[in-house]
Amino acid sequence: MAPLMPAPAAVAPSAGAGAGSAALDQALDQAQARKAAVLIDFHAPWCYSCYFMARDVLNGAEWDAVRKRAVVIEQDVDSPAGAALQQRWQIKALPSYLVLDAQGNELGRILGEQTRDDFYARLNALLDRGGDLEALARQAREGGPGAVASARAVLTAYLSRQDAQGGLGWYEGLPTAARRQLDDDADAQLLLARLRLLDDAQRKDRWACVVDGEAVLAGALGCERPYALQRYMGCIANGESDVRTLLGAQRPAMDTLVERGAFSAGGCADQRSVVLAAADLYQALGDADAERKLLERAIEQTRARVDGRIGDNRNLDDNLRVFMARAGDRVGVDSRLDRLMLQLIQAYPDDYVYAYRYGRALVEQDQAQKALPWLAQAATRAYGANRLTVAHWRAKALLALGRRKEAGAVVAEALKANGPWFPEQARELKALLSSASS
Domain spans, the chain: 1-127, 132-203, 204-328, 336-438
Residues 6+ apart with CB under 8 A from 206: 235, 236, 238, 240
**pTM of the predicted structure, to 2 decimals:** 0.91
3-state secondary structure of 428: helix
Can you name the CATH fold of 204-328?
Answer: 1.25.40
3-state secondary structure of 221: coil
The answer to whether residue 19 scores a pLDDT higher than 90 is no
Can you name the CATH fold of 1-127?
Answer: Glutaredoxin (3.40.30)
**Mean pLDDT, to the nearest integer, of 239-250?**
88
CA–CA gap between residue 46 and residue 44 (Å, rounded) = 6
At 188-212, the pLDDT tens digits run 999 999 999 999 999 999 999 999 9
The answer to whether residue 415 scores a pLDDT higher than 60 is yes
Nearest to 354 by CA among 320, 327, 384, 399: 320
CA–CA gap between residue 98 and residue 23 (Å, rounded) = 14
How many CA atoms does the CB half-sphere of 373 hold within 13 Å? 3
Find the largest Cα–Cα distance for the chain. Answer: 70
> Which residues is 42 bridged to in the sheet?
75, 96
Question: Helix %, strand %, coil % for the chain, to 5?
Answer: 70, 5, 25
At 261-284, the pLDDT tens digits run 999 988 999 999 999 999 999 999
How many CA atoms does the CB half-sphere of 359 hold within 13 Å? 26
The C-alpha angle 113, 114, 118, rounded to 5 degrees, equals 170
At 315-357, the pLDDT tens digits run 999 999 999 999 999 999 999 999 999 999 999 999 999 999 9
Domains 204-328 and 336-438 belong to one CATH topology: yes
**Mean pLDDT, to the nearest integer, of 68-93?**
95
CATH level 2 (architecture), domain 336-438: Alpha Horseshoe (1.25)
